[in-house]
Protein backbone atom coordinates (compact mmCIF):
# COMPACT_ATOMS: atom_id res chain seq x y z
CA UNK A 1 0.00 0.00 0.00
CA UNK A 2 2.84 2.38 0.75
CA UNK A 3 4.12 2.10 -2.83
CA UNK A 4 0.70 2.81 -4.29
CA UNK A 5 0.26 5.77 -1.94
CA UNK A 6 3.63 7.21 -2.98
CA UNK A 7 2.99 6.66 -6.69
CA UNK A 8 -0.24 8.68 -6.54
CA UNK A 9 0.83 11.19 -3.88
CA UNK A 10 -1.73 9.91 -1.37
CA UNK A 11 -1.62 9.33 2.36
CA UNK A 12 -2.74 6.24 4.22
CA UNK A 13 -5.89 6.62 6.26
CA UNK A 14 -7.05 4.39 9.10
CA UNK A 15 -9.67 2.01 7.61
CA UNK A 16 -11.60 1.88 10.89
CA UNK A 17 -11.77 5.68 11.09
CA UNK A 18 -12.92 5.77 7.45
CA UNK A 19 -15.65 3.18 8.16
CA UNK A 20 -16.79 5.16 11.21
CA UNK A 21 -16.85 8.45 9.25
CA UNK A 22 -18.94 6.91 6.44
CA UNK A 23 -21.23 4.34 8.11
CA UNK A 24 -23.54 4.16 5.08
CA UNK A 25 -20.69 3.85 2.58
CA UNK A 26 -22.17 2.36 -0.61
CA UNK A 27 -19.17 0.09 -1.35
CA UNK A 28 -19.90 -3.50 -0.31
CA UNK A 29 -17.55 -5.15 2.16
CA UNK A 30 -15.23 -4.00 4.92
CA UNK A 31 -12.38 -1.58 4.17
CA UNK A 32 -8.88 -2.85 4.91
CA UNK A 33 -6.82 -0.15 3.19
CA UNK A 34 -7.69 3.48 2.44
CA UNK A 35 -5.64 6.12 0.61
CA UNK A 36 -6.67 9.79 0.58
CA UNK A 37 -5.54 12.87 -1.30
CA UNK A 38 -5.79 15.02 -4.40
CA UNK A 39 -5.62 12.89 -7.49
CA UNK A 40 -5.41 14.65 -10.88
CA UNK A 41 -8.73 16.39 -11.55
CA UNK A 42 -10.20 15.31 -8.21
CA UNK A 43 -10.66 17.08 -4.87
CA UNK A 44 -8.23 16.54 -1.99
CA UNK A 45 -10.91 14.50 -0.23
CA UNK A 46 -10.79 11.77 -2.90
CA UNK A 47 -10.15 8.29 -1.58
CA UNK A 48 -9.07 4.96 -2.99
CA UNK A 49 -10.38 2.22 -0.72
CA UNK A 50 -9.92 -1.53 -0.80
CA UNK A 51 -12.85 -3.52 0.53
CA UNK A 52 -13.24 -7.24 1.16
CA UNK A 53 -16.26 -9.26 2.23
CA UNK A 54 -14.20 -11.99 3.93
CA UNK A 55 -11.12 -11.94 6.16
CA UNK A 56 -8.07 -11.25 3.99
CA UNK A 57 -6.42 -14.51 5.01
CA UNK A 58 -9.35 -16.40 3.41
CA UNK A 59 -10.19 -14.20 0.43
CA UNK A 60 -8.35 -12.83 -2.57
CA UNK A 61 -11.37 -11.05 -4.01
CA UNK A 62 -12.86 -7.71 -3.19
CA UNK A 63 -13.37 -4.22 -4.54
CA UNK A 64 -11.09 -1.31 -5.29
CA UNK A 65 -13.16 1.87 -5.06
CA UNK A 66 -12.84 5.57 -5.81
CA UNK A 67 -14.90 7.70 -3.41
CA UNK A 68 -15.73 11.40 -3.76
CA UNK A 69 -18.22 13.88 -2.34
CA UNK A 70 -21.46 13.28 -4.28
CA UNK A 71 -21.98 16.91 -5.32
CA UNK A 72 -25.15 17.04 -7.45
CA UNK A 73 -25.20 13.31 -8.27
CA UNK A 74 -28.59 11.70 -7.65
CA UNK A 75 -28.85 8.85 -5.16
CA UNK A 76 -28.87 5.37 -6.69
CA UNK A 77 -30.77 2.22 -5.72
CA UNK A 78 -29.17 -0.05 -3.09
CA UNK A 79 -26.31 -2.00 -4.64
CA UNK A 80 -25.56 0.70 -7.18
CA UNK A 81 -25.71 0.67 -10.96
CA UNK A 82 -23.57 -1.50 -13.24
CA UNK A 83 -21.35 0.14 -15.83
CA UNK A 84 -20.65 -2.52 -18.44
CA UNK A 85 -17.38 -2.87 -20.25
CA UNK A 86 -15.87 -5.90 -21.97
CA UNK A 87 -12.56 -5.41 -20.16
CA UNK A 88 -13.32 -3.88 -16.77
CA UNK A 89 -16.93 -3.73 -15.62
CA UNK A 90 -17.62 -1.31 -12.77
CA UNK A 91 -20.48 -0.34 -10.49
CA UNK A 92 -21.27 3.02 -9.02
CA UNK A 93 -23.48 4.15 -6.20
CA UNK A 94 -24.44 7.41 -4.53
CA UNK A 95 -25.63 7.40 -0.95
CA UNK A 96 -25.66 9.98 1.85
CA UNK A 97 -23.42 12.45 0.04
CA UNK A 98 -20.84 9.90 -1.13
CA UNK A 99 -20.20 8.98 -4.78
CA UNK A 100 -18.43 5.62 -5.11
CA UNK A 101 -17.34 3.68 -8.17
CA UNK A 102 -15.54 0.34 -7.97
CA UNK A 103 -13.96 -2.55 -9.84
CA UNK A 104 -13.68 -6.13 -8.65
CA UNK A 105 -10.37 -7.65 -7.60
CA UNK A 106 -10.05 -11.34 -8.42
CA UNK A 107 -6.38 -12.09 -7.76
CA UNK A 108 -4.24 -12.06 -4.66
CA UNK A 109 -2.09 -8.93 -4.31
CA UNK A 110 -3.75 -7.31 -7.33
CA UNK A 111 -5.68 -4.05 -6.95
CA UNK A 112 -7.47 -4.12 -10.27
CA UNK A 113 -7.01 -1.48 -12.96
CA UNK A 114 -6.47 1.55 -10.72
CA UNK A 115 -5.58 3.88 -13.61
CA UNK A 116 -8.69 2.78 -15.52
CA UNK A 117 -10.81 3.17 -12.38
CA UNK A 118 -9.50 6.72 -11.91
CA UNK A 119 -10.00 7.71 -15.56
CA UNK A 120 -13.43 6.14 -16.03
CA UNK A 121 -14.54 6.96 -12.48
CA UNK A 122 -13.64 10.63 -12.90
CA UNK A 123 -15.53 10.80 -16.21
CA UNK A 124 -18.53 9.10 -14.59
CA UNK A 125 -18.40 11.51 -11.64
CA UNK A 126 -18.54 14.43 -14.08
CA UNK A 127 -21.37 12.85 -16.07
CA UNK A 128 -23.48 12.20 -12.96
CA UNK A 129 -22.87 15.62 -11.38
CA UNK A 130 -20.58 14.48 -8.57
CA UNK A 131 -17.88 16.70 -10.07
CA UNK A 132 -18.40 20.04 -11.80
CA UNK A 133 -17.84 20.24 -15.54
CA UNK A 134 -20.31 17.68 -16.83
pLDDT at site 115: 86
Spell out a b/e string for 36-66, using b for 16 or more CB atoms within 10 Å of the CB, else e: bbebeebeeebbbbbbbeeeeeeeeebbbbb
Question: What's the CATH number where 93 sits?
Answer: 3.30.1460
- CA distances 107 to 6, 39, 67, 68, 95, Å, are 22, 25, 22, 26, 28
Tell me if 134 is assigned to some domain. Answer: no
pLDDT tens for the chain, 134 residues: list them: 677 778 778 899 999 999 999 999 999 988 988 999 988 889 989 999 999 887 665 666 789 999 999 999 999 999 899 998 777 789 999 999 999 999 988 766 567 788 889 999 999 999 999 998 75
pLDDT at site 36: 93
- Range of 93's domain? 2-128
Q: How many domains does the structure of the chain reveal?
A: 1
Amino acid sequence: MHGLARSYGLVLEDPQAYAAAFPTNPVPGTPWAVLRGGLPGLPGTARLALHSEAPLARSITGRTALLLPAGDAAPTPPGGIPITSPSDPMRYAVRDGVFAVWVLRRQALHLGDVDGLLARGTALARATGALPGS
